[in-house]
Structures are given as C-alpha cells and as structure tokens.
Amino acid sequence: MSAVLRHAFTTCGYSPFLSFEVADLQDSVQRLLQLGATLDGPIKYPARGKVAVLRGPDGHMLSLFEPGDNARS
C-alpha cells in the first residue's frame, strides 16, 4: 500500500466522499436524516441548483445535488 493511502486511512476525519444527483433535494435530505445521517452545514442554493452535504451514520460524507431548471439543458 502506498504511503499516501496508508496516511489517508489513519488521518483523523478521513472519509470517502460520495456525490449524487437527486430529483428532490429536500425529500432526499429528510430521508437520510431519518436513517441516521447528519447535515454538515446548511443547504446551499448556488445558481445551478441546490446542494446539501451530510455525514452518514457510517462516517461517509454524502453530497447531494438537485439541478435547477436552468442547469437541465
């Protein structure tokens, strides 16, 4: 195993970061919260849609993106 991978797994706070595009951000966030996830900051509303970052109960970071109407071309 390379030194970089060994270091990453032993570094406090290291977690895979999983990104998903969803049709309904609010519904997806609510479902993940019910399943034990926690929001990692507020939901953001950039020009291209909505973004939420959560930490799953297993420690994985989850990024959810709902494209806005102008981003679905």
- CATH number, domain with residue 35: 3.10.180.10
- The answer to whether the CB of 56 falls within 8 A of the CB of 32 is yes
Closest CA to 63 of 18, 22, 3, 26: 18
- One digit per residue, the tens of pLDDT, for the chain of length 73 reads 444 444 444 445 556 789 999 999 999 999 999 999 999 999 999 999 999 999 998 888 999 999 998 755 5
| Stated pTM of the model | 0.74
Q: Which domain holds residue 39?
A: 17-71
Is the four-CA dihedral 22, 25, 28, 33 of positive or negative sign? positive
Q: Is 61 inside any structural domain?
A: yes
- Whether the Cβ atoms of residue 17 and residue 61 lie closer than 8 Å to each other: yes
In a domain, 30, yes or no: yes
Is 4 within the bounds of a domain?
A: no
Closest by CA to 60, choosing from 40, 31, 42, is: 40
With CA atoms as reference, report the closest residue to 55 among 38, 33, 34: 38
Count of the separate structural domains present in the chain: 1
Q: Is 52 within the bounds of a domain?
A: yes
